[in-house]
């Protein structure tokens, strides 16, 4: 199960290949393995921790929290997943991606502890412990951890949050989390802690989430009940446990739904103000400088290219809302590729009225859908204007060749889709 030190990798690519082989499964729910290796590492976390979960919106919330706390002068750590171009994107200190050298050192430290206790770790579990090892070594002031899958049994949940956030609850990862919002809500609520603030940005949370918070004695704040947004044309306002805040700028992250995410972040910071006070200027500057590539990312130039990782119906609704708010005119050409275990039909039904022409693409790998499957799904939805391509790169090139200056090219459907598009555009 473990390798002699001389056989361990010396490069980041080598380590990433190695940790994919340590556990026979890509996903294996449970905290026991991570807990054992965490203790073998002797990981003590003296800094405040915010854990962010939810079906959608958690990546954006992490970026806004990170930006605001960084503006306030805190040495802020942030762990997110998945990455788009480089693994280093997942692990940041002071808004700087971890270096290859530091990640190699962290993986070696985790492997040393893992080998002693002879416990297998999944790729995500290995990466979570490596990130936290680096954060402890860097003496950060605060760490923001994004849940990978679910919450209750996710690797980040072996660490004790001072505040936990659930951004939304919708149907996704149903093979692991359950096939109803109630079942999924219970899994998401597993990151809440007794006596600690729990923020829910979903204005209509499942009863399972609210009941679990009450049962364990978490201090639950729900959008629309305990904090809320007051939207205006060019600015917006917030009302929450720390009082009212007026004249806030629209976040740099596009989409009206980002106001709900931003409000949840302010609510979380309100609950942490005794430990991590921030000013209005910190909040304003953070909202204006937060970046989250691949989430309704509009690239400069013409024709307009929009990248969005939307990979479930809930995210597709947010994408559709943002598309409707863009200037009218020209056609919308969609480069579309999804994973086979996602609700492809549900996503198509939502985006279908907004697209003029579809470029169906395949995704490599065991979970990827072939272009033929995507094209068939589009045909079954009554869409005739479809061409298919082996991969996203080919589909994107074809869309750019077909596009006129005032058209929009929408590339969406998964992180894999956006990642390949980014590499192609570079």
Q: Give the chain's mean pLDDT.
A: 94
- The pLDDT of residue 135 is 98
Give helix then strand counts, H and E, for the chain. Answer: 15, 17
Give percent of the chain above pLDDT 70.
Answer: 98
Instruction: Say if residue 272's pLDDT is above 50.
Output: yes
Q: Write the pLDDT tens digit of every residue in 341-364.
A: 999 999 999 999 999 999 999 999
**Lowest mean pLDDT across 110-114, 245-249, 325-329, 339-343:** 325-329
Q: How confident is the model at residue 1 (pLDDT cuts 50, 70, 90)?
A: very low
Count of beta carbons in the 10 Å neighbourhood of residue 271: 21
Cα dist from 165 to 213, 222, 235, 293, whole Å: 12, 10, 24, 21
**Lowest mean pLDDT across 169-173, 240-244, 277-281:** 169-173
Q: Domain locations in the chain?
A: 5-289, 297-425
- The pLDDT of residue 389 is 97
Q: Write the pLDDT tens digit of every residue in 358-382.
A: 999 999 988 899 999 999 999 999 9
Strand intervals (E) in 241-385: 243-249, 297-299, 304-308, 332-336, 357-361
Instruction: Say if residue 192's pLDDT is above 80.
Output: yes
**Lowest mean pLDDT across 24-28, 303-307, 398-402:** 24-28
**Lowest mean pLDDT across 26-30, 79-83, 193-197, 377-381:** 26-30
pTM of the model as a whole: 0.93
151 and 166 Cβ atoms separated by less than 8 Å: yes
Protein fold of 297-425: 3.90.190
Instruction: Say if residue 25's pLDDT is above 90.
Output: no
Instruction: Say if residue 226's pLDDT is above 70.
Output: yes
Question: What homologous superfamily does CATH list for 5-289?
Answer: Mur-like, catalytic domain (3.40.1190.10)
- The pLDDT of residue 173 is 75
Instruction: Say if residue 5's pLDDT is above 80.
Output: no
Give percent of the chain above pLDDT 90.
Answer: 88
d(CA 306, CA 303): 10
- The pLDDT of residue 6 is 52
- The pLDDT of residue 373 is 96
Residues 6+ away with beta carbon under 8 Å from 70: 76, 94, 95, 286
- Give the DSSP H/E element, type plus range, for residue 412: strand 408-412
Count of beta carbons in the 10 Å neighbourhood of residue 329: 8
Q: Write the pLDDT tens digit of every residue in 31-43.
A: 999 999 999 999 9
The reply to whether 5-289 and 297-425 are identical in fold is no
**Lowest mean pLDDT across 101-110, 153-162, 319-328:** 319-328
Average pLDDT (211-225) is: 98
């Amino acid at each position: 199960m473990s390798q002699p030190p001389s056989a361990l990798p010396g490069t980041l690519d080598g380590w990433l290949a190695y940790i994919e082989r340590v556990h026979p499964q890509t996903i294996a729910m449970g905290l026991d393995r991570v807990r054992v290796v965490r203790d073998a590492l002797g990981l003590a976390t003296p800094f405040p921790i915010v854990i962010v979960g939810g079906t959608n919106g958690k990546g954006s919330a992490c970026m806004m929290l990170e930006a605001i706390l960084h503006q306030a002068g805190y040495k802020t750590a942030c762990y997110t997943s998945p990455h788009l171009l480089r693994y280093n994107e997942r692990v940041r200190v002071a808004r700087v991606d971890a270096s290859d050298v530091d990640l190699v050192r962290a993986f070696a430290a985790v492997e040393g502890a893992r080998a002693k206790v002879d416990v297998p770790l999944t790729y995500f579990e290995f990466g979570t412990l490596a990130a936290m090892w680096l954060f402890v070594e860097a003496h950060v002031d605060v760490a923001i951890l994004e849940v990978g899958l679910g919450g209750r049994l996710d690797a980040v949940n072996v660490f004790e949050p001072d505040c936990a956030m659930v951004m939304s609850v919708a149907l996704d990862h149903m093979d692991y989390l359950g096939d109803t919002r109630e079942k999924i809500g219970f899994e998401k609520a597993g990151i809440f802690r007794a006596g600690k603030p729990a923020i829910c940005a979903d204005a209509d949370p499942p009863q399972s989430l609210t009941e679990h918070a009450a049962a364990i004695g978490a201090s639950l704040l729900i959008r629309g009940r305990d904090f809320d947004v007051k939207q205006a044309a060019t600015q917006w306002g917030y009302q929450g446990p720390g009082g009212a805040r007026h004249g806030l700028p629209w976040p740099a992250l596009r989409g009206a739904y980002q106001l709900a995410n931003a409000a949840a972040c302010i609510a979380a910071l309100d609950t942490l103000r005794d430990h991590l006070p921030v000013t209005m200027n910190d909040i304003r500057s953070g909202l204006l400088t937060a970046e989250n590539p691949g989430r309704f990312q509009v690239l400069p130039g013409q024709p307009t290219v929009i990248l969005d990782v939307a990979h479930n119906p809930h995210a597709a609704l947010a994408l559709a809302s943002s598309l409707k708010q863009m200037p009218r005119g020209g056609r919308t050409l969609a480069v579309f590729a999804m994973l086979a275990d996602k609700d492809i039909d549900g996503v198509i039904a939502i985006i279908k009225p907004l697209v003029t022409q579809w470029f169906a693409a395949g995704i490599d790998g065991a979970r990827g859908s072939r272009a033929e499957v995507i094209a068939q799904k589009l045909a079954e939805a009554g869409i005739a204007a479809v061409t298919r391509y082996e991969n996203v790169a080919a589909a994107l090139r074809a869309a750019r060749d077909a596009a006129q200056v005032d058209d929009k090219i929408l590339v969406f459907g998964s992180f894999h889709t956006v990642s390949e598009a980014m590499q192609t555009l570079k």
